[in-house]
Chains A and B, each alone.
Chain A
Amino acid sequence: MKKPKKSKSARRYSLLDRLAVLRPRLSAFMLDWASWGYVVYGVMYLLNKYWYLRYVNFYGRLTLPAWGWPVVILATFELAMLSHAFGQSIGLNLFGLKLLGSEYAPPRMSQRLRRYVALHLKLFLQPLALFGDRPLGMLLHDGERAGCMFQVAKIKDDLPPEKPRKWYLTYRGLCVAGLLGLTFWLGWKITAINLQMLVDRVGKSGHIWHDLVTPSFTYLTESVNERGHLYSITYYMMETIFMAFFATVSGAIVAFPLSFLGARNIMGFNAVGWLIYTLMRTVFNALRSIESILMAVLFAVWVGFGNPFAGALALFFHTIAALGKLYSEQVEAVDPGPLEAIAATGARRWQVVIYGVIPQIIPSYLAFTLYRWDINIRMATVIALVGGGGIGTLLFYFKNEVGRLDDAWNQVGAVIVAIVIIVWILDYISARVREKIG
């Protein structure tokens, strides 16, 4: 039997409500902390690079004494709190928060100072605010004297109009500019950009460009070398297209049923459904974030190096994940009207799916599949690098023969021309068909 609800409900807001309020504030603080940590990392790196005059390897190994780490952590923490109290920090801005005094006026300096101190004092008591009885959105250090943190979206209409200021006069603008500048400087050093070398070696790479734009098509059609290996650009072109086709079609066939399991509006009716939904989405996301060329490394060991089946398998698994995600998002976006109409006739769940959902999603499924074929073709041209077969087999073969064959770069040029042609044709066809469908 259900418990009768307490008539004297002291707590107006549930724990989840309070967590929802706390979350953006916590995320904003973490982001600020991380960005200050990043600034310290960058400064340390550049100091190592310039000041110590010692060779720092290209990964930018940080040299810091053992006691330095706690200091850095504390210092960045302080800096994050300072930027929270004295100005609109990046984190606050990104998560839509604003520190305001009474009557939504900008906080006074004394309020900002009080807030900074209060943040120290009440930092560890903050979780208690989840269980207290204060109004929603007010944490322990929020108040009349230290200003309150507001979610901009909620008080947008009541905010007094702000006078626009130039970006370089705002704390936020300066922070973003400084971070961008630091990142640029760091990037220049870390990726070891060396324009001098680029210019100096133009002469040395000149013959490569010359050879690449004068491709030699000796291996255009069936031709076998003295070791009995097949070097035919046409054959490998077909292999590439078919490899991608096989992976795409098989992947689409597998992803089609899985996409319904990964759609919230189909599965989210009971606990088991939610479990399956979460599981499917996790698998899709995890599998999708491994590039197919990395999977091909494993499959090349499994079914043989240079076997197009290895490449097809790698593309197949990546396609399942990618299409599964796209498909299930599409299922979630269907118009619920026809579904309800069919459900109202007393149809079962699977009947609703077949007669309500599938007719709505077929065109976009086709478009996604074609798009995927396009991507798979692009990937299939280079998957041979790790032994996945396809036209890349020739590309990397000739590239490795650069010292031994006179016309190696010309052959590479011919293969590149073939790749461009394949990609163009498929691009054109898929664009035309998608246009027609969508």
Chain B
Amino acid sequence: MKEKYYAGFMTERPNWRKARRAFLKDVSVLVTDVLILVSLWWLGSYIWNDLVHQTRDFLSVPWWIMVVSVIELALMWQSFGLSPGMKLLGRRLVDEQNGSWWVSLGRRSLRVLLLHVMPALLLQVILTTRYIPWHDRLLGFRSASAAEIDEIRVPWYRCSSAVAVILLGLAMYLASALFTHVDLVKLFTNASSTSEIWNKIFHPDWSILGLGIRLLIVTLFMAFMATLFGVVVAVPLSFFAARNLAHGIVGRSIYTALRVIMSIIRSIQPFIWAIIFVVWVRTGASAFAGALALFVHSVADLTKLYSERLESIDPGPVEAIRATGAGRLQVILYGVVPQIINPYLSFTIYRWDINVRMATIIGLVGGGGIGQRLLQLTRNWVWDQAIVLMLLIMFAVMVMDYSSSRLRERLN
């Protein structure tokens, strides 16, 4: 007969790492719950203030009241039901005593009370191996990952966390409508302010067509040069930014540095780069500045795409070539390059497509090309000529879109 141990009895070698991971998991569940509840609270108070008091403010109560009540709410949700954090991060509260839900109600409410006291015994978490905190151990609960228990699957709308998701979605939508000053009445009453524009748009002035085509050519070349130089720089960089090719401390640190820098550059729009480059290279028409801005952004974007592709190459051929005694360069040349050449081409075409789109509008900040003239025309209220340029842009973008998707189809 098997000897019975009380829950949490140390029967195997201590595994600190597992315990720490489980503990961190539970902490992050709490943090997620608190974040979701706080954003609900904030959005709710914002909507309330906007609709009732006509003021734009988030908090109408002292902050500590919000913090305390949100934490209380999260603890109760975690004890009595499936909180959104538990659902998202895949944690479940398992009842070890196998009582029905009604039987466990008392223990669950006790758990809420104990949760206020027991976190003081954090040391216990560090010392025990099978991570079961005191409050759970005393009351016969265990927090487990959703993967290791087989539970009855219920449809998502019958979980209590669905309430949070739906509420959060509704609140965010309502708050965003208030935040962006959505005013459908204004949309209709103010429509007359654009009547002149519509009138001009339907009577285009085609005399600007020649100039527009020349500007379009400049724009296309801007995109081409940016892509070309972007590829030239990004291809070698991608080899340093791939995790599976980064060996040693130097390789790892280059990898990390490159990834961080590229991620920063990538999250800044080409427009913002153009602002900087327009000041830097003050040329007459500054197509150069636009091309530079697109180039910088292309390098970052292509390096990310390329290196992600490099990370997912099949290691088989690489190993085979390495086994023949080939050097590092030869391995890359004969093992890696044949695998990546088509995806690289496909990414390049994709990027060229984006660059053409961007080049048509980067002129808005003075980056040259067709966009600069377009903005001038709209500022001077010459909409009948502006619409011709817009049609040209539309044409170019549609042609690029179609041909690039066809080309990529062929490559794949």
Contact = CB atoms under 8 A, between A and B. Distances in A.
Of A61, A297, A412, chain B has the most CB atoms within 10 Å of the CB of: A297
Nearest to B90: A436
B394 to A, nearest CB: 5
Interface in A180-194: 183-184, 186-188, 190-194
Contact of A243 (B179, B186, B228): B179
Of B228, B269, B283, B375, chain A has the most CB atoms within 10 Å of the CB of: B269
The B interface, classified by DSSP as helix, strand, loop or mixed, is helix
Interface string A51-75: 0000000111100000000000000
A198 B281 CA distance: 6
Interface string A386-428: 1001000001000100100000000010001001100110010
Contacts of A385: 271, 364-365
Nearest to B274: A382
A402 B183 CA distance: 34
The A interface, classified by DSSP as helix, strand, loop or mixed, is helix
Contact of B269 (A212, A239, A382): A382
Contacts of B288: 191-194, 197
Contact of A416 (B180, B228, B268, B283): B268
Contacts of A183: 221, 224
A249 interface: yes
A286 interface: yes
B356 to A, nearest CB: 11
Contact of A238 (B179, B263, B279, B283): B179
A294 B361 contact: yes
A234 to B, nearest CB: 10
A219 to B, nearest CB: 17
A91 to B, nearest CB: 13
A291 to B, nearest CB: 5
A397 to B, nearest CB: 12
A298 interface: yes
Contacts of A245: 172-173, 176
Interface string B374-412: 110010000000000010011001100100000000000
Given A193-B288, A205-B279, A293-B364, A301 B193 contact: yes
Interface stretch (A303-311, A336-344, A351-359): A303-311
Contacts of B394: 286, 289-290
A86 interface: no
A98 interface: no
Of B176, B194, B263, B394, chain A has the most CB atoms within 10 Å of the CB of: B176
Contact of A302 (B191, B214, B263): B191
B374 to A, nearest CB: 7
B197 A419 contact: no
B180 A298 contact: no
A208 B186 contact: no
B222 interface: yes
Contacts, number: 172
A386 B264 CA distance: 25
A438 B361 CA distance: 33
Contacts of B183: 303, 309
A330 interface: no
A191 B359 CA distance: 12
Nearest to B396: A289
A201 interface: yes
Interface in A286-332: 286, 288-291, 293-294, 297-298, 301-304, 307-309, 311-313
Contacts of B191: 302
Contacts of B225: 184, 187-188, 191, 193
A309 B267 contact: no
B215 interface: yes
A194 B269 contact: no
Of B222, B224, B281, B291, chain A has the most CB atoms within 10 Å of the CB of: B281
A302 B186 CA distance: 9
A385 B176 CA distance: 21
Given A191-B221, A427-B267, A201 B281 contact: yes
Interface in A199-243: 201, 204-205, 208, 212, 238-239, 242-243
B282 interface: yes
Interface string B210-222: 0100110110011
B272 A249 contact: no
A420 B214 contact: no
Contact of B276 (A204, A212, A290, A302): A212
A190 B364 contact: no
A194 B291 CA distance: 11
Interface size class of A (residues with CB under 8 A): 35 or more
A371 interface: no
B244 to A, nearest CB: 19
Given A191-B225, A239-B179, A197 B283 contact: yes
B365 A246 contact: no
A259 interface: no
Contacts of B357: 291
A301 B194 contact: yes
Contacts of A198: 280-281, 292
Contacts of B268: 416, 419-420
A334 B267 CA distance: 34
B214 A60 contact: yes
A399 B277 CA distance: 13
A102 interface: no
Contacts of B285: 58, 192
A302 B190 contact: yes
B194 A192 contact: no
Contacts of B393: 289-291, 294
A378 interface: yes
A437 to B, nearest CB: 12
A186 B218 CA distance: 10
B271 A382 contact: yes
A285 interface: yes
A291 B369 CA distance: 15
B365 A242 contact: no
Interface in A257-306: 285-286, 288-291, 293-294, 297-298, 301-304
A308 B282 contact: no
B300 to A, nearest CB: 12
Contacts of B182: 246, 309, 312
A243 B394 CA distance: 25
Contacts of A238: 179
B287 A58 contact: yes
A430 interface: no
Contacts of B272: 382, 395, 416, 419
A252 to B, nearest CB: 11
Given A294-B374, A420-B267, A302 B194 contact: yes
B179 A192 contact: no
Contacts of A308: 179-181
B350 to A, nearest CB: 14
Contacts of A201: 280-282
B354 to A, nearest CB: 11
11 contacts: A61-B214, A191-B222, A194-B283, A208-B279, A249-B173, A249-B176, A289-B394, A308-B179, A309-B183, A419-B268, A419-B269
Given A208-B276, A313-B187, A419-B268, 12 more contacts: A60-B214, A187-B225, A208-B280, A242-B175, A243-B176, A301-B193, A302-B187, A309-B183, A309-B187, A312-B182, A378-B267, A382-B272
